Amino acid sequence: MRNRVLIDIAFMILIYGIYFAAVDLIYTQEVVLGGEHPDYFPWIVLGVSLMANLTWYVIGEWGVRPNASVAVFYTAWFVLLALIVTAAALAAVFEPLTFLDVVSYPWLNFVGGLGAYYLASVLFSPNSAKFLIWPSKIVRNW
């Protein structure tokens, strides 16, 4: 069981690493070509998303009893999702105010943070909540 936890967390971090690389590629290209200052809000949103996903895993694996109601797991998942949406919305509001000369990509905050959280939740949720997030019943067979 311990081995599965380490494998799940390693693959979660790999998913976030891919998203971090995509954000870095998009903003590095913009900064190099446009000669502008880098924007850090997408990385902050992805960091919040990674912390939320690790929190979801810890809550599901060790915080909530395995025989708890499905509503408890869904509540935890949606509260963490709301935290990511709030971080992305704040980034979309404050990004243009902070860096006036940077081209803003607010969609990148939402797609990156929410996409990574959802994908990692579908593929690597804790064992107690393994099949709660749709379509994990279809794509997970481990």
Span 91-114, pLDDT tens digits: 878 766 655 555 566 777 788 888
**Structure confidence at residue 36 (pLDDT):** 56
What is the rounded radius of gyration, in angstroms, for the C-alpha atoms of the chain? 17
**Structure confidence at residue 41 (pLDDT):** 79
Token readout for 34 is 């446009």
**Structure confidence at residue 78 (pLDDT):** 95
pLDDT in tens, 44-87: 888 999 999 999 999 988 888 878 888 999 999 999 999 999 99
Asked if pLDDT for residue 26 goes beyond 80, the answer is no
* Closest C-alpha among 114, 117, 111 to residue 22: 111
**Structure confidence at residue 109 (pLDDT):** 78
**Structure confidence at residue 50 (pLDDT):** 94
Phi, psi of 64, rounded to the nearest 5 degrees: -110, 140
Collect all residues with Cβ–Cβ distance below 8 Å to 113 and sequence separation of at least 6: 45, 46, 48, 49, 84, 87, 88
Q: Which domain holds residue 104?
A: 2-139
Q: How many domains does the chain have?
A: 1
**Structure confidence at residue 22 (pLDDT):** 84
pLDDT band at 31 (very low <50, low <70, confident <90, very high): low
**Structure confidence at residue 81 (pLDDT):** 94
